[in-house]
Structure 1
Amino acid sequence: MTENESGPPTPRPAAGCKIHTIDARTLRTLAHPLRIRLLNALREFGPATASQLGERLGESSGATSYHLRQLAESGLVEDAPELGKGRERWWRAVHDGSMLESADFRKHADPEVRGAVDVLLHETATTHAQELNTWLGTMDEWSPEWQRSWDLSDFKVRLTPELALELAEKVHDLVESYRDRVPEDTEGSAVVRTHLHTFPRPSE
């Protein structure tokens, strides 16, 4: 979702990863840009207070506190009381990522659910674009090795729906094969984000 929220195909969860399958209830909760950003921040950077998240995301602590409580009501985040001091309230993500079968909801009888799918998918696409633009704007701050190791590519191949699904699943498997190969304290290492967008284009 990052294992961030995405449409089909459904990725195979990595061993040991706790993955949440989005249902109609949690879909309604996630249909808000700030809640998606809060959940992603907790999953990527670990537990934090509402104030810390507000500073990271450029939001007020009042706004982050409110939306964290909404996420908690849906079981997506929870208190981390062992981290707090005094009246500090720390939050953590309950899952490592989420899976969404968007096709299951796009024809839902409830228009609110259909709208929630659109919000979630478009916000995910926006996040991907922001992450890439951030890299493009800051790459000069990274070592020459990292400046030679990144990639921005696109491909065009003619496929059937079945082959498109097979291609995406193979890419998921390839990325997962690199998980946990590098210990966190490895010198010169960094968390690498890989975005996959697979979609058909009209012939004319």
Structure 2
Amino acid sequence: MTENEPGAAPAGTRNIHNINARTLRTLGHPLRIQLLSSLREFGPATASGLGERLGESSGATSYHLRQLAEGGLVEDAPDLGKGRERWWRAVHDGTMFEASEFRTHADPVVRGAIDVVLHETATTHAQELNTWLGTMGGWPEEWQRGWDLSDFKIRLTPELAQELYKELHAVVESYRDRVPEDTEGSAAVRTHLHVFPRPSE
């Protein structure tokens, strides 16, 4: 799983954290996942700024940021603070792990944490898509043709399913860094990928 996308995509030159049981325990809380995602997407912020963005109290965000720091997922950004302001930044660009390794872990806390991470990821994907559907009318006409909402049903073996998502990840990665940050008309594009089996009936 890289960032909020399942699977084991190649990290490339990005700073990707290969999660272990310790950091998974740290991450196994919905607000911590949201805080980390926000810092990765929008850059450094204060606890109060994150609280405003996420609709949480600064006390709650401060506590969970400290927990994330103890787990090595966020760190102080002292170069940004003024006076008593404390700024935080993400240590890594994304997170990678194989969910199956943790679903059978001997520690029930770890098994519970992976479920929290996976369900929070699914919730975030749904929220992001619904936000786009509710706001796409305000985007330029070019972007009205530049998005997609598709699903496919194909019969595969577990081995072919793994091959499929790895190849799709490679395609997405091939587009990374092709467009400079300040390119006119460009936007950050979220790409969700779900690959899972369904019963025949």
* TM interval, short-chain normalised: over 0.9
Structure 1 match to 2:157: 160
SS of corresponding position for 1:82: coil
Q: Distance in 1 between matches of 2:36 and 2:154?
A: 35
Q: Counterpart in 1 of 2:11?
A: 13
Matched letter for residue 169 of structure 1: K
Q: How far apart are the structure 2 equivalents of 1:42 and 1:105?
A: 25
> Which stretches in structure 2 are left out of the alignment for 5+ residues?
none
Tell me if structure 1 keeps the 8 A contact 2:5–2:192: no
Give the count of matched residue pairs: 201
Could you list the structure 1 runs, at least 4 aligned residues long, displaced by more than 6 angstroms after superposition: none
| CA distance in 1 between partners of 2:100 and 2:5 (Å) | 11
Give CA-to-partner distance per residue, 1:29-82, whole Å, 9 cap, x none. Answer: 111000000000000010011111111111111111110000000000000000
Matching of residue 72 in structure 1 with residue 69 in structure 2: yes
TM-score with structure 2 length normalisation? 0.97
Letter in 1 for 2:137: D
Pick one of 120, 124, 131 that aligns with 2:121.
124
Q: Distance in 2 between matches of 1:115 and 1:5?
A: 17
Q: CA deviation at 1:6?
A: 4.5
RMSD across aligned positions (CA): 1.0
Alignment of 1:1-204 (within 5 A): 3-7=2-6, 9-14=7-12, 16-204=13-201
CA distance in 1, matches of 2:130, 2:4: 20
Could you tell me the TM-score, scaled by structure 1's length? 0.96
SS across alignment from 2:192 = coil
Deviation at 1:5, TM superposition (A): 4.1
Q: Deviations over 1:78-115 (max 9, x none)?
A: 00000011111000000000012111111111111111
Find the aligned partners of 1:112 and 1:185 in 2 and give their Cα distance: 43
Structure 1 unmatched ranges of 5 or more? none
Contact 1:5 1:100 in 2 (8 A): no
